[in-house]
A and B are shown apart, each in its own frame.
Chain A
């Protein structure tokens, strides 16, 4: 069998971070090649290298496609050769029709005038190929996610695709839609179209994949040919997570006190679709000096849970109880939540956490302006002292605290956000992906700060997609899935395998509503935090 694509020794770095190192990938002609790995293992980065999002020259290593060395500078370059990527976030224009979307940027024209009759006829043929019977004039917004996914594939077929890349195509689909999509993939394989499938759902992978490549920490760990011998899920999981736990976390002797924080029967609905339940009756508790972790995939509802507790900054029709020190507290607005000693450090520090154009001290005092002012007049000296103090304590590296935060590195920006919330004097800190986008050295510093906080008797709730981080830091770990907690592990019996199993074995979605939830949880990341 011919090799259609070979990527050799791919290395891609970002400032301070090695994202990919020595990655090798070989895709045979007419096969379905699955790529698996944890969040952040480098799957999406690899696909961006392949499709020209990161232009040739910004990475090292070589790409050979159909026997020729390729140097893609843009996505258009890769599309011209027949490599088409379908991203996790669909790139369809909701208020245009199916035909308009399929031919977007590629309209059949004569003398500059679009031949819509031709476009519609071709669209109808393409729709038939992907198993849809919709009219080409239907607006995208009237289709479900599953069908939208198929439209994306039709769009790819229209461009004469040779290698189709699907980045977690079924993450937001229900079971029947997923099934249709996988069947279509198998059909395309019969027509000789190769595809790369990125997925977390091992059951799907074992159903369709011919070859599986496993990525971990930015390198290829192994590649299996399933046609020779079937591979067990256990072995995949082992390879996905299997690594030595090095001394990357500060040593800490937990001194766990009384229960300080409890959330009971917490239910939240989507901010715009009042019938979609995003958080389905969650119960949890946390103790003084304890670090609890919330594991789960992106879109499982972790951020939504945290934000809904933090002053209802996400969702509507929120019900349930929040209890601190045995008493019900009112967290119906953000300022009330802050007043009750809750702080939420966002996962998206640039768009939700910082005033990028302001300096460090302005950012640090923002959540507690009363702490630096007298009679509503800001005491600049006090503000300066507070910021200088945190600069020293958290080792914020900057030219001065009057430096704009936009000019700081990711790790130092994260410390500024942490400083802001520490200055609000919280008892309960919710940290959402506290080490995302931070280089290794700064990660260790962030972990040390978190440990220190716990030893000061604060209660830390840490949301993370990186399992080693949770295992290294947390005293107790909840696993979240589809808006509810699927499992709870204590530090002693938590392993990456167990957590991963709790996540992937939950992968099959039982019914339609869940599928919608997963979809909406995803769209929630695009700025819909402020419902009702």
Chain B
């Protein structure tokens, strides 16, 4: 558009006309009600998870939060959570991966054939499986990233291919059981050196250390930010928030400790969640993934090799799907041709419930993890309540739709 050029503009009058778009945002950031609104948006999903947990805790007469059930909840959802980490990166980069369920089945079958039929050492077999997963991811990512074939199509093809290969590999049979050592991956618990029968002290200690580490790292970050004058949340809010998180961690580790202790798979999962949170928030690679998903052309014109970034997210996804496949096979203690079918839907739903945007560029690791647990708690709670699998699906579908709908409403309001 053309400006009105008839008047000269002296340097003293440089102030642009008051900008109607920018000013509301400016105000809302400064007053405290606006701040609480932002916080609600950021932590809304976590509050929903807590609300859902309270709901089922009440509806199931306290069964949900029993130590045994919490342990089961973690075991049942670990592979979904792990895949959600990879899927989040894929979705943030602007793609989708429909093949992960089939890859879970395929890798389980591969592990079974290697370990059960060929008696390969389980560590070696696991490494081979992880590499195979990475290669599968690379093969699909190759077409998506370098030939610009829509990921929906490439991974739909992958879904069919690996479903078929699973059947071929297992010759239509279930293969198992696995040796005990391999099962430890999924059904094992951290050992308890203290030998207390009532409570697994090590698990509780790890929980307390984790809570302390969280608070400490947040505090250090706050100090670092303050040194650069970065605008921070009010101190009371900081204390309340991190206190609550630490409390939740300690409470759950206490629950776990009073049963069999911390499952091995929770340890794996926690490490991965921390690693991926760090990668997405703090590393150059993470930033590039968001940039590519946010505006591929702008990212490319800023010197980012966008195809390589997309490719990397698929390789990563393949590897995490392979890990999930190993965990799932170890949990079932057998590889079946139907293993993993439909997992991709749960994983993708977890990311979207957790606030990822289907058009890319937006989404958080913690969001995806919470999304996965929302799905998991609902599955678990509804099963305990005795709701049939038929209506469970309907309700889950409605929750997915509602979560995304609220997200969209929120965003429109934010603009």
Query: Which residues of B lie under 8 Å from residue A395 when comparing CB positions?
Result: 14
Indicate if the CB atoms of B283 and A377 lie closer than 8 Å: yes
Contact for B305 among A243, A335, A353, CB less than 8 A: A335
The complex places the Cα of A468 from the Cα of B5 at a distance, in Å, of 10
B252-295 Cβ-contact flags toward A at 8 Å (1 or 0)? 00000000000000000000000000000011110110110011
Indicate if the CB atoms of A403 and B29 lie closer than 8 Å: yes
Closest Cβ–Cβ distance, residue A342 to chain B (whole Å): 10
Closest Cβ–Cβ distance, residue B18 to chain A (whole Å): 9
Q: A217-B4, A218-B4, A346-B301 are in contact. Are A400 and B291 (CB under 8 A)?
A: no
A103 CB within 8 Å of chain B: no
> In residues 498-531 of chain A, which contact B (Cβ within 8 Å)?
527, 529-530
Query: Which residues of A lie under 8 Å from residue B303 when comparing CB positions?
Result: 311, 334-335, 337-338, 367, 424
Indicate if the CB atoms of B284 and A351 lie closer than 8 Å: no
Which single residue of chain B is at the shortest CB-CB distance from A307?
B301
Indicate if the CB atoms of B26 and A352 lie closer than 8 Å: no
Indicate if the CB atoms of B295 and A412 lie closer than 8 Å: no
The complex places the Cα of A443 from the Cα of B5 at a distance, in Å, of 11
Query: Which residues of A lie under 8 Å from residue B283 when comparing CB positions?
Result: 373, 376-378
Indicate if the CB atoms of A344 and B301 lie closer than 8 Å: yes
Q: A380-B224, A385-B228 are in contact. Are A441 and B9 (CB under 8 A)?
A: yes
Indicate if the CB atoms of A217 and B30 lie closer than 8 Å: no
The complex places the Cα of A250 from the Cα of B12 at a distance, in Å, of 12
A403-421 Cβ-contact flags toward B at 8 Å (1 or 0)? 1101111011000000010
The complex places the Cα of A248 from the Cα of B3 at a distance, in Å, of 12
Q: A366-B302, A440-B9 are in contact. Are A407 and B295 (CB under 8 A)?
A: no
Which single residue of chain B is at the shortest CB-CB distance from A354?
B298
Indicate if the CB atoms of A45 and B1 lie closer than 8 Å: yes
- How many interface contacts (CB-CB < 8 Å) are there between A and B? 195
Stretch at the interface among A17-25, A116-124, A192-200: A17-25
Contact for B291 among A353, A366, A370, CB less than 8 A: A366
Closest Cβ–Cβ distance, residue B376 to chain A (whole Å): 29
Stretch at the interface among A227-235, A355-363, A456-464: A355-363
Indicate if the CB atoms of B3 and A439 lie closer than 8 Å: yes
> In residues 7-29 of chain B, which contact A (Cβ within 8 Å)?
7-11, 13-17, 19-22, 25-27, 29
Indicate if the CB atoms of B284 and A376 lie closer than 8 Å: yes
Indicate if the CB atoms of A445 and B282 lie closer than 8 Å: no
Query: Which residues of A lie under 8 Å from residue B362 when comparing CB positions?
Result: 357
Which single residue of chain B is at the shortest CB-CB distance from A355?
B294
Closest Cβ–Cβ distance, residue B25 to chain A (whole Å): 5
Which single residue of chain A is at the shortest CB-CB distance from B24?
A407
Contact for B8 among A217, A248, A344, A380, CB less than 8 A: A248
Query: Which residues of A lie under 8 Å from residue B294 when comparing CB positions?
Result: 355-358
Closest Cβ–Cβ distance, residue B279 to chain A (whole Å): 10
The complex places the Cα of A333 from the Cα of B306 at a distance, in Å, of 12
Indicate if the CB atoms of B288 and A14 lie closer than 8 Å: no
Which single residue of chain B is at the shortest CB-CB distance from A447?
B9
> In residues 344-367 of chain B, which contact A (Cβ within 8 Å)?
361-362
The complex places the Cα of A335 from the Cα of B310 at a distance, in Å, of 17
The complex places the Cα of A367 from the Cα of B298 at a distance, in Å, of 10
B385-415 Cβ-contact flags toward A at 8 Å (1 or 0)? 0000000000000000000000000000001
The complex places the Cα of A310 from the Cα of B1 at a distance, in Å, of 27
Query: Which residues of A lie under 8 Å from residue B228 when comparing CB positions?
Result: 380-382, 384-385
Q: A17-B2, A369-B284, A384-B230 are in contact. Are A408 and B15 (CB under 8 A)?
A: no
Query: Which residues of A lie under 8 Å from residue B21 when comparing CB positions?
Result: 15, 407-409
The complex places the Cα of A505 from the Cα of B26 at a distance, in Å, of 50
Contact for A217 among B5, B299, B305, CB less than 8 A: B5
Query: Which residues of A lie under 8 Å from residue B6 when comparing CB positions?
Result: 217
A17-42 Cβ-contact flags toward B at 8 Å (1 or 0)? 11101000000000000000000111
Q: Known pairs A344-B301, A366-B299, A403-B26. 7 more at Cβ < 8 A?
A: A45-B1, A356-B294, A373-B284, A380-B230, A384-B228, A442-B14, A527-B297
- B residues sitting closer than 8 Å to A (CB atoms) are 1-11, 13-17, 19-22, 25-27, 29-30, 224-225, 227-231, 282-285, 287-288, 290-291, 294-295, 297-305, 361-362, 415
A-B pairs with beta carbons under 8 Å apart, 12 shown = A16-B16, A16-B19, A40-B1, A377-B283, A382-B228, A384-B225, A384-B230, A399-B27, A403-B22, A403-B26, A412-B16, A444-B14
